[in-house]
Structures are given as C-alpha cells and as structure tokens.
A and B are shown apart, each in its own frame.
Chain A
Amino acid sequence: MTDQWVTFAKLGTADLVRLAGEIDLANAPEIGREIARQTGRSGAVLIDLTAVSFLDSAGVRLLDALVGDLDEAGTPIRLVVGETGAARMTLQLCAFRDDLLATDLDRAADEVGR
C-alpha cells in the first residue's frame, strides 16, 4: 500500500529509506509504521527525502518520532534533503538539528557507516 511513497534498499551497511511524492496527514502514519517495521534492527539508517515534493507537519511528526527511537537505540541516522525543495523547507522551518540533515547521500552513508 505504501510502495508508491516509500521503498527500502541497502547502501553500504546502512538501511536506505527512499521517500517520494507528497507526504501528509493522509499517508504519514502508515509510512511511519512501515519504516519502523523495516528499520527495527538496522545498524544505521538513511532517509532520502530528495524525491519528496511535499512534506507537512504530520510528515515531520513521523520523522521526529523515528529519529527519537533511533537515537535512543544508538542507531545513527541522516535525513538526506536537496539543496532546495519542499522537504528541506519544512524541516528547516521546524528547526531540525543540523547534524541530522545531509545533502549528499554517499557522504551521509560514509558518516553513518563509520
């Protein structure tokens, strides 16, 4: 059901979560559950938001909860966003920590894979 918005892959040792399209109140909870299910035992997680064309506060809520859970488990996580775009705008507005955000996927993979 969530395939059109979220897909999963491996990048190095990290689990790569690719988000795409519009993430809002209607699909965020379901996407969140799917990500939690797939990354429950990951060593490191990369969330690629470069293909996200819209992100609302429900999407932010989902990312916030995800980061919280992974931080608690000591699992490194990076949110990869484009230089511009909807996801970057929303996340910046919500003042996400700088150390969480990355613009380059490969570099982020190196960082979390250390």
Chain B
Amino acid sequence: MPWEEDPGDLYEHAPCGYLTTLPDGTIVRVNETFLAWTGYARSQLVGQRRFRDLLSPGDKIYHETHYAPLLSMQDDVHEVAFDVVCADGRRLPTLINSVLGRNPGGSPRLIRTTVFNATERRGYEKELVAARRAAEASEVRVRALQEVVANLSAAPTASEVAEAVVRAPAAAFEADAASVWLVDADRDQLTAIASTDSAGPARDDIPRGSSRPIAEVARRGDLHVVHCLAGAEEQFPELAETMRRLGYATAVLLPLTNGFAGESIGAEVLGVLSFAFTEQCELTDAELSVVRLLGHQAGHALDRARLYDDARRREARATFLAGTTRALEELPRLMPRARRLVERVVPEIAEWAAVRLQIGPAGLLADAGSPAPDPERLAERVALVVANGKPEFTDDGPDPDCAVLPLSVSGKVLGTLALRMAPGRRTAAAEAVFLTDLADRAGLALENARLYEQERAIARTLQRSLLAGDPPTDPRFAVETHYQAATHDLEVGGDWFDAFLITPDKLAVVVGDVVGRGIDAATTMGQLRSAIRALASAEAGPARLLERLDRFVDRVESARMATVAYAEIDLTTSEMTYACAGHLPPLLTKPGDAPTYLLQGRSGALGSRAGRTARLEHRTPLPPGSRLLLYTDGLIERRNRRLDKGFELLARTYAGRRDSPLPGLTKGLVQSLVGTDHADDVCLLCLAIGTEERLERSIGADAVQIALLRKDLRGWLVSHDVDEESTQAVLLACSEAVANAIEHGYRNDPFGIVDVTATVTTGAVEVEVTDRGDWKATGSSQTRGRGLKLIEQVMDEVVFDRAEGTTVTMRRTRREAR
C-alpha cells in the first residue's frame, strides 16, 4: 500500500524527535530528526550524554525539580517546555512528552521521549510573556508614580521631596541610577541633594552658568533624553564621557519645574532629575509623558517646600533675634554679654563667630566654634568694616560664606561681629537682612554693657578709694570689715564703714548708708565719712556728733536721710557709748551671752524732718571678748520677707559663728545670709574687743580656713605678749594639727568641724585641736608624718587622745620661762 510505511524509516524521520533513555537519563537511542534539529552526531549522544545534559542550566533545574519527580510519580509527563542546547550552542525551543516504562517488577526500565520543535509556538508564547511583563511593568509604573506623588505631597522639605523623586525612575522605569539636583538661587548653582548611589549625592556643585549638561538642562527647561552614547556625543560630550565611565547606555535629564504640563513659559526650573540605564532603551511616548508629569509634580512639590522653608526660616529668625536680645539682657557686664552673643550664634547660625570690640588698647575678643578664617584676611576685612561701618560678605573665594558685620550704635562703630555660616544654611549674603538685624541688636546691647562697665568702673574706683585705709591695729581690739557690691545694679551704693582712734584710748566705729546710688551717692558717702572723722572728739560723744552732722546735712542736700550707726569705745574702761541715726540696731555678743540687738540711743535719719531730731546716745559695758556687729540693710532686708524675720535670722547665724575666727567672719556672714547673687550692696563691720583669756574657735574642714585661724591666733598671741619665736612655733604646730584633722580625720567629710582652743599662762602656751573624724586606715601616713614631726619638734609636750575622734594637746614653754 502506498501509505504503508517502513517503521524504521518512520522512527528515524518522524516529524518529531525521539529519544530513549535509561531511568538515569542516559541516551540509548535517538532518531535522525532530533539529530538533524540539534546538529549532534549519534555517536556524541548515545551512551555518552544524559538528556538533561542537553538542556540549558535553567532548564536543568526545572528538569530536576519538576520533570524528574513528575515522571517518577506519574510515569508520564506532557508538554514540558525545554530549550535544547544544540551542538553549535544554539538553543532549540521544544516541547517534550515522556513516558516511563517499567519492568514487570515495577522498577523503572527506560524513558521514551518525543521532542516537538516549538520554535514558532514558543515565539508566540514569548510574545505573550513579554506582553504580560509589559502590562505588569505598566501597572508597576502607575503604582510607583502614585506612590511617588503621595510621598511628594507628604514631603515638607526640599530634601525630602528630592528623596521621594530620586526613587521614582527605578520604580517606574527600572532605571539603574538617578540623582536630583536642586537650584540654589542664593549661590547661583545646582547642588546634588539626593542620589540612588550608595555613596550619596555628588559633592561638586555646578554653577548655573556652567556648560555642564545638568546646568544646560536647567537653563533650557526641557526634557532631554539621550538614547545612546552617540547621541550624547552630539548633544553633551561631557555627558557621554560620564556615561561611558559609569557604564550607562541611555540617560534622561528632566527639569523639575513649577509650571503646568504643556506650558514652559514663565515656569521656573527648581531642580533637575537625571536618571540612566545600563542597557540602551527607547522610552515610548507614553513613558515620556509620564516622565514629564513626574517633572511637574516634583517641581510643584519643591515650590511648596521652598515656601514652607521660607516661612519656617522667617519664624526661626524672629524667634532667634528675640531670644538673643533677652539672653543678652540677662548679663549686664560687657565680656559676659559678648561671650553670650557668640555662644548664641554658634552653632545655631554660624560654625564660627567672633566679636571684636574697639575697647582698651588691645581691644576685646570673644569667639567660639571653628574653623576660623585666615587671620590676615579677616583682620583686613575687620579694619574695612570698622572704617566704613558697612557689612562685608564673602560668598566664595578663600574664606567662603563669611561675613563681617559692624556693631554700631547711632553711627559709631563699637566693634565687629564676624562669622562663618553653619554648613547647610543659606549663604551669608542671602541672610544679609537677618544678620544685619542681629548685629544692630547686638551692637545696642553691647554699647549698653560698655556704658554700664564705664560707670561701674568709675564708681567702684571712687568707692574703693574712699573705703581704703586699714583699720587701726591695736592689741586691745580687732576690726574686721566686708563690703560686697550688688550683682546686677548698674551703680554702686552709698554704704560705708569706718574705724579710727579718736584718742589713743578711744576708738570710734561707724557704719552708714547714703540714700541713692551711683557716683553722687559715693561722693556724698565720702563727705559724710570725712565729716564724722573731723567732728569726732574726745569730749563730744555720739549724740553731739550726730547733732553736728545734722547741721552738715543742711548744707549737703544729697546727704539728707542718710543713716548712721556710731559707737565710741573707751579702751581703758571697756565701756561703749553708741547712737543710731535711723540705722539698723547693732548686734552685740558678750562672752557667755546670746547675741543682743542694741535698741537704745535711737533717733531719726540725718536731716530727717519727720524723725526725732533730739539725738540720743546710750552707754553700755563692753567686757573683753565682746563682739559688736554693725551692718547695712542689704544684709537682712529682703523684698519678700518681714524685717523681724531678717533680724531673727541674723541673730541666729551670728550666734552660730560666735566661735569662728574673726578674720573671715564678716565675709562668712554675707555668704550665708546673702549669697553671691544679691540685689543690694552690703557693708559690715565687726569689732572684737579686749583680749580673750582663752581663745576658742571652730572652723570647717577646709584648708583655706587654716590661714584665717592663723591670723586670729597670731593676733591673740601678740595681744598676750607671747614672744615671736614661740608665736611662730605655736602657729606652725597648730596649722599642722588642723591640717592633719582636715586631711585625715575628715578626708571623707568636707562638712567636719575642727575645734581649736588656746590658753596662755605666764609660763606657757597650750593649744588643743580636736576633730571627730574617722582616722582609720590612713593610707598616706608618710605625707603627714613630716607634719607630726614638726609639731613634736617645735612644741615641748604633745599628747594624742584618740578616745573619740582625735584631740592633740600641745604645750610650749614661753621664752621668759625657759
């Protein structure tokens, strides 16, 4: 029959490929058709290769993970698509059907496979796949753009807008790299602000007038698509070089404008988005319109961010200026004010700032931050600004972003404020209005501080000269004074103290207070002080003296209503006569008694018309060991406290210090009652009368106190006529013993108290130093060893009692008794 076929020929030349393989895939039979399609010789395959060896690597995996398991389980597999790698490396798309033949026992025997040439069908399928991918890509692109637009509308700052925009090309077009450049109008340049590059945006800023492609596109305001290197060579040779270096085949340069789609006139270019592809690609019209849309969306977002930035910056500047004015007012003095100014400016406004003031021979300087500009160029510019009174801005050149501003008040240049803008801020020139405003305010504040300093210096000098002069020294008494000026007041007050001998046996002590402040008050105080010295006489007494002062005040109007506490002490009878003209009552401690306010001898202030004009005085005994305290109202008067509370507090504090050495006592009282921050001047005088038979002092565990104790002890020893050599010895021994107590006994207790008692007899001096510290585990016995040795060397008897704390009793025989 004509349609009869030779089975062998049919097998060999069937319209499909036949393969027979062992279960492990080894080819044992193959037909001509397969060999013709693939170009292999039979001998290359049979017994040599497994079927899977003929597959592409990807299909090998599919073969192992899908085909082979399926075949094992189903005994057949249909229409699996494999690419067979032909002898010449070409790939033949095929569809495979396989059947697994089994032995009677069920074990696999061989696999029969038919191979259909699926070139055309696979071509069609590939189109389908491509179409599917295109559809997916389009969907991805739309979704990506929606996301970008959503992010744009949520981005409040230009950099956040840029971060959102720079991600769009990869998401929407599968671009391989993208960068965003922002137009910086202040600096007339384009700055890279965002990049998909892991190293971050490029650091080279591009001047707007540059011939570089980014600047060119920003000027033209048009979308530029560079499809290939050749195109780039033609349009932007520089871009071609970059693309070649970074391996990009296609690049897109998109201006980000605030115009509307389709209109380019009047639209402002706010930035440029560049993106690139490593594979050359054509962007379709649809894609290009999406790119343009992106440019407009981003441009609008940048515009909005810019307005928002401006508003925020204006608000921040206003807040900063108001805050600076307030902060400067807090400090009345010049240098602290200048320092605060630079500290306000750095780092918030500038990374470096310096205030120079044309005051004094060398001028004053306060600076902060770094790096400072080149000193010579700076000096030139400062000189120029001082001469012209006009600010200097240097936006580029060797010291970029620096400004030197005059600090001036009504045309007079007081100095300069130089600064270098903080990185990331606008340029100094762009901030000119703000910086000038800042310098004007600072100039006024510094000029006020300068005037304050000037006035203060004059008044202080005057006051110091008036209060100068040591009180008389006499073994029969000791005087300790302290004056502390108000912290914040512009002017000095009219407080004063004085102590002088009217006769060799009559001592006068005074504390007074003139109404008002400033140079006038200081001058009046000086006049009153001199008047009292002139009017005091051996016969007159306090009441008469005040009467004469009243007459003096009639001529010196500024002295009216001044107050005075005045006392005369007869050193032979140990009697005191005192009088208070409108002044706070003196406070007296007698040995063994509590402190008492002296409320007698009171009359009105000097020149008072409402006060009692009859001047009274009062006499009271002043036994040896008494201490009399005169003071001005600054010590106890507080706006928010009743006066009697102040009296109570002073008496209590004074009582607590009755055993303190006289040196340092008045200062200590001011420190604990007033502190260092005080609204008023304070003036104190403490008079210790007579010679104590027994000196008893308590001092805090502070090395600084030892010198004060020594001073007190020396005076006491001298008043008892102790010889100089013994005095030296006792001072040394006592110092060492107290130092020991502080360094060891109270090494862990800065609030410990050391008690010192000294007694003197005709034959010897005895000193006892006691602490209640913990002497255990003294690790530094060597350092104090020398002190102990000194004590033992200079004293004749030394006894340690360590029953409770430590008491050192030291005795030295006086020279006369030796």
Residues of A within 8 A of B (CB): 22, 24-26, 54, 56-58, 60-61, 86, 89-90, 93-94
Contact = CB atoms under 8 A, between A and B. Distances in A.
Nearest to B703: A26
A82 to B, nearest CB: 13
Interface string B719-746: 0000000001101100110010011000
Contact of B786 (A22, A25, A60, A86): A60
Contacts of A54: 707, 710, 731-732, 735
Contacts of B793: 93
B769 to A, nearest CB: 14
A94 B732 CA distance: 12
B790 A94 contact: yes
Contacts of A61: 783, 786
A96 to B, nearest CB: 11
B728 A57 contact: no
Given A22-B707, A24-B703, A86-B728, A57 B736 contact: yes
B728 A89 contact: yes
B706 interface: yes
A90 B790 contact: yes
Nearest to B792: A93
Interface residues of B, number: 23
B707 A24 contact: yes
B431 to A, nearest CB: 42
A54 B729 CA distance: 11
B787 interface: yes
22 contacts: A22-B707, A24-B703, A24-B710, A24-B739, A25-B742, A25-B743, A26-B702, A26-B704, A54-B735, A56-B732, A56-B736, A56-B787, A57-B790, A58-B739, A60-B790, A61-B783, A61-B786, A86-B732, A89-B729, A90-B732, A93-B790, A94-B790
A56 B702 CA distance: 16
B157 to A, nearest CB: 50
A57 B710 contact: no
B784 interface: yes
A5 B783 CA distance: 22
Nearest to B729: A89
B151 to A, nearest CB: 60
A90 B729 CA distance: 9
Interface in B708-766: 710, 728-729, 731-732, 735-736, 739, 742-743
Given A57-B784, A61-B783, A89-B728, A24 B735 contact: yes
Interface of B: 702-704, 706-707, 710, 728-729, 731-732, 735-736, 739, 742-743, 783-784, 786-787, 789-790, 793-794
A56 B787 CA distance: 8
Interface of B is mostly: helix
A61 B743 CA distance: 14
Given A22-B707, A24-B703, 7 more contacts: A24-B710, A26-B704, A54-B707, A54-B735, A60-B790, A61-B783, A89-B728
A94 B787 CA distance: 9
A58 to B, nearest CB: 7
Contacts of B728: 86, 89
Top 9 nearest A-B pairs by Cβ distance?
Answer: A26-B703, A57-B787, A25-B703, A25-B739, A57-B786, A26-B704, A56-B735, A93-B793, A22-B707
Nearest to A56: B735
A53 to B, nearest CB: 10
A24 B740 CA distance: 12
Contacts of B789: 94
B726 to A, nearest CB: 12
A57 B780 CA distance: 14
B573 to A, nearest CB: 35
A60 B732 CA distance: 12
A68 to B, nearest CB: 14
Contacts of A89: 728-729, 732
Nearest to A29: B703
A78 B742 CA distance: 32
A6 B790 CA distance: 24
A24 B704 CA distance: 9
B713 to A, nearest CB: 11
A112 B702 CA distance: 39
Contacts of A24: 703, 706-707, 710, 735, 739
A4 to B, nearest CB: 12
B706 A26 contact: yes
Nearest to B706: A24
B707 to A, nearest CB: 5
A24 B790 CA distance: 14
A22 to B, nearest CB: 5
Nearest to B738: A25
Nearest to B742: A25
A49 B739 CA distance: 22
A22 B496 CA distance: 30
Given A54-B735, A57-B739, A57-B784, A26 B707 contact: yes
A20 to B, nearest CB: 14
**Residue among B729, B732, B742, B789 having the largest count of chain A Cβ atoms under 10 Å:** B732
Nearest to B787: A57
A25 B703 CA distance: 6
B706 A25 contact: yes
A54 B710 CA distance: 10
Contacts of B706: 24-26
Nearest to B791: A57
Contacts of A94: 786, 789-790
A56 B734 CA distance: 10
Contacts of A57: 736, 739, 784, 786-787, 790
**Residue among A57, A89, A93 having the largest count of chain B Cβ atoms under 10 Å:** A57
A89 B793 CA distance: 11
A55 B793 CA distance: 15
A101 B729 CA distance: 21
Contacts of A25: 703, 706, 735, 739, 742-743
A89 B739 CA distance: 19
Given A56-B787, A57-B790, A61-B783, A22 B732 contact: no
A32 B729 CA distance: 24
A92 to B, nearest CB: 10
B707 A93 contact: no
A50 B710 CA distance: 20
Contacts of B790: 56-57, 60, 90, 93-94
A87 to B, nearest CB: 11
A61 B789 CA distance: 13
Contacts of B736: 56-57
Contact of B739 (A22, A56, A86, A93): A56
Nearest to B704: A26
Nearest to A28: B703
Contacts of A90: 732, 790
A66 B437 CA distance: 57
